[in-house]
Structure 1
Amino acid sequence: MLDPKILEEFGNKMSALLANSPAKDIEKNAKAVMSGVFGKLDLVTREEFDIQAQLLARTREKLQALEARVEALEKARDGKQ
């Protein structure tokens, strides 16, 4: 059986190697590039999107209510003529 201390020591050494390797620099550079690309795009946050979705839902509800009201008024008008 493997000693847990040996596994822990191996994991620590691998973490140290990866932290000092070019892979870490590549990851950091890739994140910077992606942040720059996303910064140039016309994106909204999730919170802004959710607010707009709620506003749209309320607007649709009001529109449906107004359409029903107009239809009822038109039927009432047509019935009087």
Structure 2
Amino acid sequence: MIDPKKLDDIAQKLSDSMPEQLKTAKHEMSKQFKQILQTQLAKLDLVSREEFDTQTQVLLRTRQKLEALELKLQELENR
């Protein structure tokens, strides 16, 4: 999933962009922004970078095996 530190940074940037009059509630708003971001991101069907990279490698190996099998089949058909 997404790094909690990045969520904190995004929430902090959102609260920093608030008008000066609202900055008294800055800490509370930052917590609420973080909670909203976590809730909305949890609704998305996301995978971690590690899982994505693993699946990419699996797909690459599968393609290589398929190409090898296609070559063997072609050799057998040519006989």
TM above 0.5, yes or no, is yes
5+ residue gaps in structure 1?
1-19, 77-81
Residue 24 of structure 1 deviates from its aligned partner by 3.1
1:57 correspondence with 2:56: no
Q: Deviations over 1:4-28 (max 9, x none)?
A: xxxxxxxxxxxxxxxx732333222
Question: Counterpart of 2:47?
Answer: 44
When the two chains are superposed, the root-mean-square deviation of aligned CA atoms in Å is: 1.6
> How does the TM-score come out when normalised to structure 1?
0.60
How many residues align structurally? 57
Residues in 1 aligned to 2:39 and 2:31: alpha-carbon distance in whole angstroms: 12
Question: Any unmatched runs of 5+ in structure 2?
Answer: 1-22
Task: Report deviation, 1:61.
Answer: 0.5
Match of 2:74 in 1: 71
| 1:32 and 2:35 aligned | yes
Which fold has the larger relative contact order, with Cα–Cα distance below 8 Å and residues 6 or more apart in sequence? Answer: 2
Using structure 2 for the length normalisation, give the TM-score. 0.62
